[in-house]
């Protein structure tokens, strides 16, 4: 049971977690903090949170769980603002998509990461953002990755694990470095490709006609290009080394496909397509 959950960034991710915990009766009070009072008032109206504060230190006072669901670039300033106000038993966790960046931000703010800090990342979301997009079923059956540090207290990890499991998630653990490598390939690269494709087509001469005749495949592939541009800019910059590595690998494979098309090599194209279909059918069913 959580006595008081303090959320920084009660949008889709933080708001959905709050709704799930409130529905399960697992959290007595949810308080949020952000720079927009209108946003916070809307969160109260929607029943996502109980109360709010525009002052970070006030928001975390007496909280036993603090969730950082802000853009990566805001992690350090928020941590600096709440450091002196955190209760001794407070567990600090986050939902950032690039864990090395978050760990660096927390380290810069606190001098070293607190023993109660549990880096985390829910592998869930939609192309929509904001508190209006929050819904309690978001984490049902979805994975949440925790990347505890060497000195992270086991009881803090267990408390964060229990919170996500109550929300319906399947919780796994891995190292910070491995997380960033895996997410660069499975999440960050696909978003870059989707953004890049839509931008490229939008700058072509007959763009209105192109989008008018876009079929389901185009809509499915590019859905994530409707995601928050600021958030994804921060992610790409924060996890740049891992992203560049996987992009280089993908460019080599794309060159191979280009060469097969140029040479009219149907056998090679069929081999690639069959291999891809088998892989997706196996892992994404």
What pLDDT is attached to residue 285? 67
CA distances from 42 to 203, 205, 222 (A): 37, 41, 29
What pLDDT is attached to residue 209? 77
What pLDDT is attached to residue 191? 95
Which residues lie closer than 8 Å to 62 by C-beta, 6 or more apart?
Answer: 3, 4, 87
What pLDDT is attached to residue 207? 65
Query: The pTM is what?
Result: 0.89
Report residue 152: phi and psi, to 5°.
Answer: -65, 135
**pLDDT below 70 — which residues of the chain?**
205-207, 285
- Per-residue pLDDT of 47-72, as tens digits, reads 999 999 999 999 999 999 999 999 99
């Amino acid at each position: 049971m959580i006595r008081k959950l303090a959320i920084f960034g009660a949008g889709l991710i933080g708001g959905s977690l709050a709704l799930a915990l409130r529905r399960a009766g697992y959290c007595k009070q949810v308080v949020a903090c952000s720079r927009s009072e209108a946003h916070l008032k809307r969160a109260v109206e929607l029943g996502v949170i109980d109360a709010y504060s525009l002052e970070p230190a006030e928001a975390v006072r007496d909280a036993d769980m603090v969730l950082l669901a802000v853009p990566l670039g805001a992690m350090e300033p928020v941590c600096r603002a709440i450091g002196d106000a955190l209760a001794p038993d407070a567990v600090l966790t986050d939902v950032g998509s690039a864990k090395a960046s978050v760990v660096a931000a927390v380290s810069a703010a606190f001098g070293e990461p607190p023993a109660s800090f549990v880096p985390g990342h829910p592998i869930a979301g939609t192309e929509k953002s904001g508190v209006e997009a929050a819904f309690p079923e978001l984490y049902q059956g979805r994975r949440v990755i925790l990347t505890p540090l060497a000195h992270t207290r086991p009881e803090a990890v267990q408390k964060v694990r229990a919170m996500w499991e109550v929300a319906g998630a399947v919780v796994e653990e891995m190292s910070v470095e491995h997380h960033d490598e895996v997410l660069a390939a499975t999440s960050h690269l696909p978003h870059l490709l989707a953004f890049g494709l839509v931008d490229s087509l939008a700058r072509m001469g007959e763009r209105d006609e192109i989008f008018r005749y876009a079929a389901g495949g185009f809509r499915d592939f590019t859905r994530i290009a409707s995601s928050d541009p600021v958030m994804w800019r921060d992610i790409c910059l924060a996890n740049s080394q891992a992203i560049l590595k996987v992009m280089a690998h993908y460019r080599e494979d794309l060159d191979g496909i280009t060469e097969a098309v140029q040479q009219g090599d149907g056998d090679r194209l069929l081999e690639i397509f069959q291999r891809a279909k088998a892989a997706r059918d196996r892992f994404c069913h």
